[in-house]
Structure 1
Amino acid sequence: MEIESVKLVYFSPTGTTKAVVQGIANGINPDITELIDITRPDARKQPLQISENELLVIGVPVYMGRVPALLNEWLNAIQAHNTPTVCVVVYGNRVYDNALLELKNTVTKCGCTPIACAAYIGEHSFSNSETPTAEGRPDKYDLNHAEAFGQKIHEKLQSVSSISRVSDVNVPGNYPYGGVTELWTVDFIAVSDECSQCGTCAEACPVGAVDAENSRMIDIEKCITCCACIKSCPQNARSMKPGLVKEASVRLHTLYSQRKEPEFFI
């Protein structure tokens, strides 16, 4: 079947999911590619409309083994019509649990037809220089894997005459999904005197939790502990306070140091 264009959709506070999705697109090598970054709040106000002549590649990070709850409203509002879709989740070297199945089921209800799914590893949000977890990932090997996956997607599309001839893709996971989708409400970010109030952290925050006028002010009710503000700070003025998040970063570093590899289902 012929695809007119590819839409790359990603929620990627620290850039790892974006890198994976773009790696997959390199393998598909479409004539026309549209990037749709739904990381910022304003970008999630407009629902996605897509046809059966386009390919949707959608990538999200895994939060506590699930699709991030703040994306549910936007994902459920997708307007598709037998649209071939690639579902991708990116996790921090722990587990992706039911997130891939959840993403697949969600977009299917919106008119998408999943033709391939994958789980990749990205540096964990809580990873830092003291307690790194999946540091530097996706790395060169991961992105080569993503490109090879994209090539397989291209071959699959070329091998069928229409979307109706594509068989269902089985992915790991259990329904009901279980787990806890509520994130911690915790004051965990320390801001040092090196902060110049440049506003980079406020711009990086995917939920508008950092005050644009005073970046020391953080709305902990909005914060999703993605640590984008910490990782994006050009002065390295932001760090984790002692407490729940820092303790979790130590556990992740200790328990999940062994490298995990990407998986795809096609």
Structure 2
Amino acid sequence: MSQDDQIYRNLQIHLNKMPIGFPPSETGTDIKVLKAFFTSDEALLATFLDYNPISLRKIHQRAKNLGMTMEQVEQELDSMVQKKIIYVDVNPQTGKKFYGNLPYAIGFFETHINRLTKEMAEAFDEYNLPFIKEFLGEKTGLPQMRTVPINASITHENNVMSYDNARDILENVEGPYAVAPCVCVQAREIIGKKCEHDMIERCMVNSQSYIDSGDAREITKAEAVEILQKAEEKGLVIQPTNNKATGGFCLCCGCCCGILSNGKLLEKPAELFATNYYSEVDDEECTGCRTCEEVCPMDAITVNEVSHINLERCIGCGVCVSKCPSEAIHLRDKEEKIVPPEDGADLIAKITKKKLELNQ
């Protein structure tokens, strides 16, 4: 192994210790990802950071064997912040800087909206399957995202909490409202795999920093609801971050979304997706038209005279319910409901605690 390859392997091992890890790939696509985003010098310096931000002075002490002055370390770190492969917190009173590692996703992949290279896009496409089980919390039971049903699939018979209702999520956001292009769609289109849906702006965020950087476009609450409605009509899946205080969500397609397209390759995706619902077919009403089979993002439906839903694959997105012309499919509540963590910090704390327990 070359010296550079060892540097990237060390960074992979380092990132894999974070709450959202970066697992190795048998084919080496994990290293391909890191090489696409980090130079070897950046990769080396990144191994001296933590998930939680630490001071410039502490990083300089850790990296003393590199022979760099504190000013040189700061300059390199600031360059990495500009590239959006690490992050910085600045104390508003003292001006002191604290730098931290970003995970791969949700992290330094998503920060490259509108600036992906072909090398990055190819690495994303190849590494997704090895990464998906980590993203979905196979070991911890705590995925980063969850699936909520589209509004048209919900009836008065469903017990829907506000954190499972996309419109309530929008209503509870204080703002600002913003929408960004889907980075998964951008990555796929760069490598010649065009999205089946003509809707590029589909990531809803309430982040001023995304607006300031030009990565997202500020919109009104009414515009946000309109975008959500359009996505539901197109059969996109609503996936907010896995916490009650989520400030936004992704509107995802089965052809491009890294979560859906790779989750679909799993034998039993329903075991890993955080969802409180499933679809059920009324055999008496079903005409066997195959509409549901065509729109299901998880290949959970087969048709033999009437539709049959594989509950080990159904993630309760409600797309089939809204598209059924004979209204033969209904959304049902799962007996055991999943209550998401309170906020993003609570989610990370729970993931960290679970991983520590598993490693004992």
Structure 2 length-normalised TM: 0.27
Please identify the structure whose Cα radius of gyration is greater: 2
**Which structure is richer in relative contact order (CA contacts within 8 A, separation 6 or more)?**
1
Structure 1 length-normalised TM: 0.34
